Amino acid sequence: MKSYCFPRNFIWGVAAAAPQIEGAAREDGKGESIWDRFARLPGKVANGDTPDIACDHYHRYREDFALMRRLGVKNYRLSLAWPRLHPDGGRDINQKGIDFYRRLFDSMERNGITPWVTFYHWDLPQALEDAGGWRVRATAEAFARYCATAARAFRDHVRNWITLNEIPTFIGNGYRVGMHAPGAREPGRVLNQAFHHTLLAHGYAVSAVREHGGRGSRVGLTQDLSVSVPVTETPRDIVAARAELALRNEHLLAPVFHGRYPAGYLRRCGKDRPEVKAGDMKLISQPTDFLGLNIYSGHFVRAKAGRGREVLAFPPRYPEASFEWLKIVPQSIYWAIRHCHELYHPRAFYITENGASFPDPPAADGEIVDLHRRDFVRNYLVNVHRAVGEGLPCRGYFLWSFLDNYEWAAGYGERFGIVHVDYATQKRTPKLSARWYAEVMRRNQIV
């Protein structure tokens, strides 16, 4: 019997984001982004690494798509750099930016690769940050104009759109703890308002796709949920884990799927609750076609004797990848889909990111034997297979990431790629995990 097969039309892909791979930070009229600025602040990014050159994908995309083709990659999730299209976030459009992405999409087409395009993967135009960034409503309105520009310009190239990538990450890291661009530390009231503006931005992006996108366009949001996994798969622990996941993520999901902020969230905000204008929640909760999930990790939950539940702390030396937050919990991918399905019933799910950074061994005989990464992905995929096998509407999987790339505050030292990048020469070398994943995609089966 053939095991671990996927349905015929299951989407296999790889993922990346503009500021992490493109480089060409000042070329062809691109405006400065908050990451271009932030990376220059002393002590903010490991090794002082900047996104200036990154993987030089801006000049090497033809080579990169040819490599994707050789590996049998048929779907590629990328993001557009907002400051390439609207350099200062205002009304001015940079035609050279549009031309670049048209060349890019043409090249993808020639290589048989379907684009899945994220409007916002964290590279806000610096000029908008100077005018208040996500703290102000005007940024969501500027985002609406940018999304309209992009949806119109690329309507013949792109059908699958993702509005924003991981709202809680860029708000939390960027505006609460100052670890990501723009490096701010704001009080609760400002954060809640900024969060509301990102939800508005999501709504505006959905409208832009509906209004200006080509025929058959689809759109959804990508979230990084806090994923609660039952310690034992018994009804009591499952119910406990679902309640925990519901509580941790309701403010991210209820506005989009139910058109309201949850009462508990508003209570927790107290006097810092966001200002919501008439029509906002309607805009935010327009129907979408799918929910994207970036899944890396999770935590274990169990029901307590009597009533209530507890989240278990990870004991010392629990298996993790190169980041402390990257605890290896393969079941998180199954439980994220299942809980979310039961709670919110999105029309479909895509795993828009999953993958891991590990210290790779040096190449021996020209091969990088990255068994950690291979095994990480394989174990998570087994859990995708389980979800699909149980009839949950998970339609695709994108591995993060195709190339080693600019890992934000960790710079170039952390490598998530299935293809190694030698930054000194920009040489690409597929790792063992790439060869393996190519076989998975080709056979539509975990091997």
Q: Which amino acid is at 74?
A: K
The tokens describing 123, both together, are: 């590279």
C-beta of 96 vs 327, nearer to ligand GBH: 327
Active site (annotated) includes residue 353: yes
When asked if residue 94 is in the footprint of ligand GBH (CB under 6 A), the reply is: no
When asked if residue 169 is in the footprint of ligand GBH (CB under 6 A), the reply is: yes
CB of 166 to ligand GBH, least distance (A): 5
- The answer to whether residues 399 and 15 touch, using CB atoms and an 8 Å cutoff, is yes
Handedness of CA 104, 106, 108, 113 (dihedral sign): positive
Q: Which of 22, 244, 353, 414 is catalytic?
A: 353
My answer on whether omega of the bond before 401 falls inside 30° of 0, hence cis, is yes
- The answer to whether residues 80 and 101 touch, using CB atoms and an 8 Å cutoff, is yes
Task: Report which DSSP code applies to 27.
Answer: S
Euclidean distance between CA atoms 100 and 104, whole angstroms: 6
- Candidate list 94, 118, 163, 165; residue touching ligand GBH; CB under 6 A: 165
CB of 79 to ligand GBH, least distance (A): 9
Stretch that binds ligand GBH, among 98-106, 162-170, 179-187, 307-315 (CB under 6 A): 162-170
When asked if residue 198 is in the footprint of ligand GBH (CB under 6 A), the reply is: no
- What region, left, alpha or beta, does residue 267 occupy, with left being phi > 0 and alpha being psi -120 to 50 degrees? alpha
- The answer to whether residues 54 and 23 touch, using CB atoms and an 8 Å cutoff, is yes
SS3 202: helix
When asked if residue 407 is in the footprint of ligand GBH (CB under 6 A), the reply is: yes
Of residues 347 through 376, those in contact with ligand GBH by CB under 6 A are 353
Euclidean distance between CA atoms 18 and 447, whole angstroms: 31
- The answer to whether residues 256 and 206 touch, using CB atoms and an 8 Å cutoff, is no
C-beta of 169 vs 379, nearer to ligand GBH: 169
- Candidate list 36, 56, 166, 244; residue touching ligand GBH; CB under 6 A: 166
Of residues 238 through 297, those in contact with ligand GBH by CB under 6 A are 294, 296
- Structure-token match 């079941």, residue found: 331
CB of 406 to ligand GBH, least distance (A): 8
Stretch that binds ligand GBH, among 164-172, 189-197, 256-264, 361-369 (CB under 6 A): 164-172
List residues forming the annotated binding site for substrate.
20, 121, 165, 296, 400, 407-408
Contacting residues toward ligand GBH, per CB under 6 A: 17, 165-166, 169, 224, 294, 296, 325, 353, 400, 407, 416
- Residues with a catalytic annotation lie at 166, 353
